[in-house]
Structure 1
Amino acid sequence: MASNNQTCFIFDKDESTKILIQMAYEIPSTRIRRQFNLLRSTDESVSQTIRRLTANIEHTLMKENKANKRRQKQHTDVKSDNEKQTILVQLFDSNDQLIDENQSNKQAWINCKKLLINEQSYNVEYNAPAVIKFRFPDIIMANTTTPAIVELDYGDCEHSLFDWFITNDIKTEENDEKTEWIHVHRGPFCIFGDEHINKFVRLTCLPRNSSLREGMLAEYTSKKRIIPCPTDLPMNRRHQLTKQYFPNDSNYIRLISYNILANGYASSTGAGETMYPYCSQEYLQHDYRKPLLLKELLGYHADIISLQECDTTFYERELSLILKANGYLGDFQIKSDRVREGEAIFYRTDRFISINSHSIKIGEYLRDAEHLENIRRRCALVSEINTHLLERNTAFQ
């Protein structure tokens, strides 16, 4: 497969009427690569898409030319090659034959194997693994777990490659290539040490699937520097006591249970002033609480972990993946479609085997269970109690 930077990626989902075109074009005069993303109708003629791509590249060249003039302090009346350059975009099939531009986007790109933009040649990959959403938490704390938060199409996290980099300072966007990034880790999670405090972070993701087919490299750069982890935490003492009284190699079963405060409640309007006035707003931020929560949970080396008010997204994209990497499997029960949080239970796989999973939503159970008919009749005598119980979205696992 050609270099990732010399590949044009086409995404055409069956149920969609749009086709997405992604590529990185190298500006000849500066060798800087610029990302292009075109979302076009599948029924549109490919000639219209070519015209749009051509116009976008020409516009980018003009902007780069002006930036060059500012950097080189040239006079505005001096013409550059970028301004004079004509862009020619051509599509070729597997037989290296020019594709008819009257074809629709869907038909043309399915058959296209090579994209030629002047002298730059691109392999065309159709529905390759793709990064849809990609980031890491805004707050990065040393000596805690920082996860990659990613959503992929046609690929999976297990086979994708994640690389973490640090730098002392970030140059301006125009001089970003001059920033010296040092590789520190490969994997979907990273634990930065004290030596990384005050550094900026960059994460790249090369999406892949089980057959190791590759997509377009994605990257995300922190806006803030790595901060130190607080040292005077109550969990530190509790971790020591746990090791002292319940050693890892003992026959004790270590179980922990926490209400971890769903982000929807902590970030709701006025929550800081009315519900948690004793807590500074910055400490209520989910990105601040998550690394400390994970540090506390993992520090107990528990055999069973039971959590309440667990956000659905947090469970799916971070918590379950991090705990799995540390030897846990779990199950999650959402309260309702209206409340995007619920209960999660994890167990250590080297001590337990799951044989069954069962959950109950108390409101539904009270309404439907035959053996609770007598309780329903009694509750119906007091309308307030009846309504309150039957509308409860509390879940049990």
Structure 2
Amino acid sequence: MLSLVPCSIINSLFLNSAFSNFCGKAPLIRSVSNYALQHQYNMHVAYFRQLPNEEQCAITFHLASERYKINRVFNFFRDVTENIDASTERIKANIEKETKKRMNKKKKAKSGTPSEQLGTTELALVNDVLPEVGVRFFDCDKEQDIKGIAFSELLKRVHEEKNILLKILDDDFRIDFNSPAVQTINLPQSMLAGFYVYPSKLELVFAEKEQSDFHWFRGKMPKSKNAQLIEWEQIGTGFSYMPTSDDVGHHLKFLCVPKNSQKSGPSSEITSVSEVQAGPGQCPFDVRHLFTQSKLVNGHQFRIVSYNILADLYADSDYSRTELFGYCPSYALHIDYRKQLFIKELIGYHADIICLQEVDSKIFDLDLLPVLRLKSYDGHFKAKGKTAEGLATFFDVDRFEVLDQQGITIGENLETLEAFQCLWSQVKSHEKLASRISERSTAIQVTLLRSRQNPMKHLLVANTHFYFHPDADHIRLLQGGFSMLYVRSLYEQFEEKLKLERDHFAIIFCGDFNSTPECGMYRLMTERFVGDEMADWQSNEEEAIRGVTLSQPFQFQSACGCPKYTNFTVGFQACIDYIYYQSDALHVNDVVPLPSEEELLAYSAIPSPVFPSDHIALVANLEWTHKLDEDQQG
């Protein structure tokens, strides 16, 4: 069947097949298009590829000879310590084997044809005369064959751009070493009109994504084998694409032309398994976007979002589908569906700082970071211990410069972090309590940002997600105490190191604290002190804490106040998410209204087809209280 594919297209197919197999992965290319014809190398190219730290070199070339009736892609994997004479013999043997196979087919097909009607080569095949196959490496500068050297030496000469050819039969093949290529490419299972679609996985080798070209096509797949082949229409360019209502019912195809600063590689493409579907209609966050239609332009202001996006780790289980979120249709729990919603939601807030909780590590790497970078954000991830989800903080690189970014798992640092020792010494003798808090995977992430418009202004942005268990108010309160000790120690370090003025250096602490306003964490943040009479200390009789008080020196307020709900499931509804801000340095200008209870109840609770998480995003506009004039800004 290979001979039926245009030769100028085959390069794209065989290069990806050969290289992905060399890397231990099956080829993922499913279709070709006329567009791809414009992005191929000349057919007479032998692709040599050696990954870093690998001792093998992959060799791929397409040999198409009318004279010898060969039209096939050949793949070889040679050890770089091997003598090239052995390599050429191996290549020769495989070509001869293919020629013999063709000979047997021709012999059978032409056995009844008069000899005078056969060509010279066909006659030779029928008469069992095997054509002589020549395979050699040739140095054009020295005009002589290359023999007797190790394969690694040959690669060195090729890398040094020596004029070396691989001569096979009647053809001369230019050797292309480590050209840009697509190693893996996938599209998501779910694609909705009105929501961003992009590769769910794209791995390039010897290429840079920022320099590569991306193209989108749509077409309707044939319903039967005898139906007319699909015709592709180009509909967009760029890494991401937002399908329209016109795309509904069509399959999408994504084509990548891998590039680096020196050259391009063969294009690769993939067709979606499913068709584009209609979106869920207006989502509640579409209404909220009416309050955030553009970026804030005042240099003294910035917009911040805090959002628990519901990790796939917790949504994709039998328990979640049948018990925890049994009211939510299964398709709306699938991560390929939900991520379309929360990415569009996040982008539409036009925030300057985004703090996320319950972020799957794969979602950070393959979805959030690639897409948000296209919107001028950068960010970092902190896993919760050994759990495959954690915290992510993003910031607009046009508004802020990152000076430092850190993160710790609290339980892993109780014995070693100097800032923790005073509080830890008060509870570590309680064996059961100490064991429970030290085994938690709770993490805290901290990012130090400097305003690009007001370089004297600095923000210390903390992000966390406290332990969830109903009998653990005491654990969460301790986590709050340790978190503030950690934040305070970093604040004082940066203050001294960078000579920062307190009027121009503020803390913002975001997260899912799993604590209602009646709990001790809210009191610690807003009143700066929690006494030993606090009911939280007694939330578990076997782990009850006595004689411990907590304090922190900063003036904090909750930017969004204490709404009735920030988490809304059938089994639990309460305010447990907050954006705490330092109120002596910052003040709130606006808060984006939260969805109504009617919206939350439209599908019994959330998540739902229009809510991607069981939490609601908090969005607030903050402003520096102490302004700077132009002379002060320098």
Question: Structure 2 length as normaliser, TM-score?
Answer: 0.52
Deviates more, 1:40-49 or 1:304-313: 40-49
Match of 1:19 among 57, 68, 82: 57
Q: What does 1:307-346 correspond to in 2, within 5 Å?
A: 307-336=356-385, 338-346=386-394
* d(CA) in 2 for partners of 1:175, 1:89: 44
Q: Tell whether 2:273 aligns with 1:223.
A: yes
* d(CA) in 1 for partners of 2:63, 2:225: 17
Q: Deviations over 1:252-295 (max 9, x none)?
A: 53322221222333334654234432233322222222211111
* d(CA) in 1 for partners of 2:216, 2:437: 49
Q: Kindly indicate whether the alpha-carbon contact (under 8 Å) linking 1:42 and 1:106 is maintained by their aligned counterparts in 2.
A: yes
* d(CA) in 2 for partners of 1:8, 1:173: 35
Deviates more, 1:110-119 or 1:361-370: 110-119
1:261 corresponds in structure 2 to 310
Instruction: Label 1:299 to 1:384 Cα distance change in 2 as closer, same or farther (>3 A).
Output: same
Q: Tell whether 2:91 aligns with 1:50.
A: yes
Instruction: Label 1:173 to 1:391 Cα distance change in 2 as closer, same or farther (>3 A).
Output: farther
SS in 2 for 1:228: coil
- Unpaired runs of 5+ residues, structure 1, are 67-73
1:233 corresponds in structure 2 to 283
Match of 1:8 among 46, 63, 68: 46
Q: Tell whether 2:195 aligns with 1:157.
A: no
Q: What does 1:178-189 correspond to in 2, within 5 Å?
A: 179-189=230-240
Match of 2:424 among 345, 356, 376: 376
Deviation of 1:330 (Å): 1.9
* d(CA) in 2 for partners of 1:36, 1:282: 43
Which is higher, the Rg of structure 1 or of structure 2? 2
2:77 corresponds in structure 1 to 39
Task: State the one-letter code of the partner of 2:55.
Answer: T
Q: Deviations over 1:302-354 (max 9, x none)?
A: 22211112122322233112112112222222223x32322111122343333
2:264 corresponds in structure 1 to 214
Match of 1:142 among 166, 186, 193: 193
Q: What percentage of residue pairs aligned between the two structures are identical?
A: 27
Deviation of 1:297 (Å): 0.8
Q: Kindly indicate whether the alpha-carbon contact (under 8 Å) linking 2:296 and 2:302 is maintained by their aligned counterparts in 1.
A: no
Deviates more, 1:43-52 or 1:316-325: 43-52
Instruction: Label 1:60 to 1:255 Cα distance change in 2 as closer, same or farther (>3 A).
Output: farther
* d(CA) in 1 for partners of 2:287, 2:297: 20
Deviates more, 1:87-96 or 1:315-324: 87-96
Q: Tell whether 2:405 aligns with 1:360.
A: no
Instruction: Label 1:387 to 1:224 Cα distance change in 2 as closer, same or farther (>3 A).
Output: same
SS in 2 for 1:359: strand
Q: Kindly indicate whether the alpha-carbon contact (under 8 Å) linking 1:367 and 1:390 is maintained by their aligned counterparts in 2.
A: no
* d(CA) in 2 for partners of 1:164, 1:32: 34
Q: Kindly indicate whether the alpha-carbon contact (under 8 Å) linking 2:311 and 2:358 is maintained by their aligned counterparts in 1.
A: yes
Instruction: Label 1:47 to 1:115 Cα distance change in 2 as closer, same or farther (>3 A).
Output: closer
Instruction: Label 1:269 to 1:182 Cα distance change in 2 as closer, same or farther (>3 A).
Output: same
1:124 corresponds in structure 2 to 175
Instruction: Label 1:43 to 1:235 Cα distance change in 2 as closer, same or farther (>3 A).
Output: same
Q: Kindly indicate whether the alpha-carbon contact (under 8 Å) linking 2:139 and 2:145 is maintained by their aligned counterparts in 1.
A: no
Q: Kindly indicate whether the alpha-carbon contact (under 8 Å) linking 1:129 and 1:207 is maintained by their aligned counterparts in 2.
A: yes
1:391 corresponds in structure 2 to 439
The count of aligned residue pairs is 382
* d(CA) in 2 for partners of 1:330, 1:23: 41
2:328 corresponds in structure 1 to 279
Q: Kindly indicate whether the alpha-carbon contact (under 8 Å) linking 1:4 and 1:216 is maintained by their aligned counterparts in 2.
A: no
* d(CA) in 2 for partners of 1:317, 1:4: 33
* d(CA) in 2 for partners of 1:209, 1:377: 55
Deviation of 1:46 (Å): 0.6
Q: Kindly indicate whether the alpha-carbon contact (under 8 Å) linking 1:328 and 1:346 is maintained by their aligned counterparts in 2.
A: yes
Task: State the one-letter code of the partner of 2:379.
Answer: G
Q: What does 1:168-179 correspond to in 2, within 5 Å?
A: 168-169=220-221, 179=230
CA root-mean-square deviation: 4.0
Deviation of 1:19 (Å): 1.7
Task: State the one-letter code of the partner of 1:138.
Answer: Q
- Unpaired runs of 5+ residues, structure 2, are 1-38, 159-163, 446-634
* d(CA) in 2 for partners of 1:146, 1:349: 23
Q: Kindly indicate whether the alpha-carbon contact (under 8 Å) linking 2:92 and 2:133 is maintained by their aligned counterparts in 1.
A: no
Question: Structure 1 length as normaliser, TM-score?
Answer: 0.80
* d(CA) in 2 for partners of 1:174, 1:236: 44
Q: Deviations over 1:358-388 (max 9, x none)?
A: 3232123322222422322332233222122
Deviation of 1:58 (Å): 5.5
Deviation of 1:213 (Å): 1.8
* d(CA) in 2 for partners of 1:171, 1:32: 33
1:70 corresponds in structure 2 to none
SS in 1 for 2:255: strand
